[in-house]
Chain A
Amino acid sequence: MDAISLLTIFILSIFVGIEVVSKVSAILHTPLMSGANAIHGVVLVGAILVTGKATDNVQLYLGLVAIVLATINMVGGFVVTDRMLEMFKPKKAQKEEVSK
């Protein structure tokens, strides 16, 4: 893709990113940070792409390291965010779960 298209996508993404979180309430700052953190775990896609076309061992090993790191970021990020948000359930649902 040409540079101007990429720049357009980049700039528009900045506005979307700012817009979607602008009204977040203070109690959700921590889960939001954690959720956003999990989303950049998608760097795993990049790690797979460079490893899948690695032509020598240095590239391969570095690529595998990147894959492990990126997967920890992605999986760990979403799981820990889910654990935090589990506690924000409405009270009724929570009691039902306890009584189960």
Chain B
Amino acid sequence: MTPTWVRVAELLAAILFILALKGLSSPKTARRGNQLGAAGAAIATAVAFFYGQKFYGGPVQHLPEILIAIAIGAIIGWVAARRVQMTQMPQMVALFNGVGGGAAAVISVIEFLSVHSENPAILIATIFTVVIGSVSFTGSLLTFAKLQELMTSRPVVIPLGRFITIGTAVATMVTAVALIINPINSLLWLLLGLSLVLGILLVLPVGGADVPIVISLLNAFTGLSVAASGYVLNNVLLIVAGTLVGAAGTLLTRMMAQAMGRPLTNTLFGAFKKRIASAAASSEDRPVKSASAQDVAIMLAYARKVIIVPGYGLAVAQAQNTIRELVELLVAKGIEVDYAIHPVAGRMPGHMNVLLAEANVPYEQLKEMDEINPEFPGTDVALVVGANDVVNPAARDDKSAPIYGMPILNVDQAQQVVFLKRSMRPGFAGIENEVLFDPKTSLLFGDAKDSLTKVVGALKSL
């Protein structure tokens, strides 16, 4: 029924998607890969209008409305993607992912309403799309709210949360089975509602540094729901594209979870387990050593080797260019300087590389965790700018800490540690960092950019 040339064009689009993912796996070909993917998507969209009279029952109906809807979506997507700050990019990806999941769920709902298929395989695929697509939709919107700090980024544990979540999941499954036995509209709406709630319940208890992994997981979910919607519509291209993303996304999620040193189940359900309160006393009455910009400049100027540990705070303060200036000054004095990049520095794996590349920091100075960690004992000053959790030794030593098991940068082994921090507030994961109270640690309080500018000024006048 579909013209052959349309199917050939779709095959071409599928090949372009595979080449896109392949290209995105290597720095040299990544941008080209993304462009190939965009070309594939454009081809696929264009030929969707030529499925033929039999499919559409005449010419494509509602064509003007469809084109207007595409224009609206394209403008919203384009403007949002252009305007977003690089620091806010993770939540943008979450949002784009969520709306894709929502679209897949809605498509299956429409197909159910119009065709009323009683074929169990089609019904199962419909249910799968509705449930997974909806979970991805509300789950992604919630991760957006968490990262955008519209709500707390900490794990939210509601009383009896575990039972409510399990109860909702069971109710969803029961509704799904009922729908297969008796495919009526009201059950589908109920299923849709339950799935939307389930997405919220599943993401609420996930907090802090685990949120990016959840975005990646939901991305894989959306891929699978797109594949299932392809099965419902008997459309090969959607099956191929959705499955590719589902499989690649699942693998990527696992790699990210490994980079954080924790199994995936721990990420998702960690907050359900009873938290053992950290032994550390409250921070207010414990002494810390604070330093002036002048002190820090002197410390750096007389060091032989300095390691910079950049964190999300650096990016928030837009201080990437200032830190580059500082490093250039130090290098000019003959001091050896490296950046230590934790795999999850920033908000997502690889995020810090993107942010520093934006500020023209040379790649050669960026060292990955495994490469730099043995160098800390021979380092005079470790300068931690706006990072906290990724240098917290609790992840290494304290079994009760929620981040236990995450590999960290061993700044505590350096001769001296300097933290540039806004306040004593704990990091993203919400736990105390013992290094802050170490006698060899100095703290310079204030906005990262202001502090760095002062240090640069002090260095110049030395």
Interface residues of A (CB under 8 A from B): 1, 3, 6, 9-10, 13-18, 20-55, 58-60, 62-89, 91, 94
Contact = CB atoms under 8 A, between A and B. Distances in A.
B346 to A, nearest CB: 8
B334 interface: no
Contact of A37 (B93, B247, B360, B362): B93
A29 B74 contact: no
B251 interface: yes
Interface of B: 13, 17-18, 20-22, 24-27, 30-31, 33-35, 37-38, 40-41, 44-45, 48-49, 51, 55-57, 60-63, 65-66, 69-70, 72-74, 76-78, 80-82, 84, 86, 89-90, 92-93, 95-97, 99-100, 102-104, 106-107, 109-111, 113-114, 121, 215-216, 219, 222-223, 226-227, 229-231, 233-252, 255-256, 259, 343, 348-351, 353-354, 357-358, 360, 362, 368
Contact of B242 (A40, A67, A69, A91): A40
Secondary structure type dominating chain B contacts: helix
Given A33-B252, A44-B103, A72-B80, A10 B89 contact: no
Given A23-B25, A39-B21, A62-B106, A46 B233 contact: yes
Contacts of A71: 69-70, 72-74, 76-77
Contacts of B103: 43-44, 46-47, 66-67, 69-70, 73
Given A24-B252, A62-B109, A55 B81 contact: no
Contacts of B49: 48, 52
Contact of A79 (B81, B104, B111, B113): B81
Nearest to B19: A20
B114 A17 contact: no
B69 A30 contact: no
A39 B31 contact: no
Given A29-B256, A40-B223, 14 more contacts: A10-B231, A10-B239, A25-B25, A28-B25, A32-B21, A42-B13, A42-B40, A42-B237, A54-B61, A65-B106, A67-B103, A69-B106, A74-B100, A79-B77
B45 A49 contact: no
Contacts, number: 373
A39 B245 contact: yes
B207 to A, nearest CB: 20
A76 B96 contact: yes
Contacts of B48: 44-45, 48-49, 52
A68 B69 contact: yes
A26 B30 contact: no
Contacts of B27: 25, 27-28, 88
A50 B38 contact: no
Going nearest first, the 7 A-B pairs with the smallest beta carbon separation are: A71-B73, A17-B247, A76-B77, A73-B100, A75-B77, A13-B243, A79-B81
Contacts of A87: 354, 357-358
Nearest to B359: A87
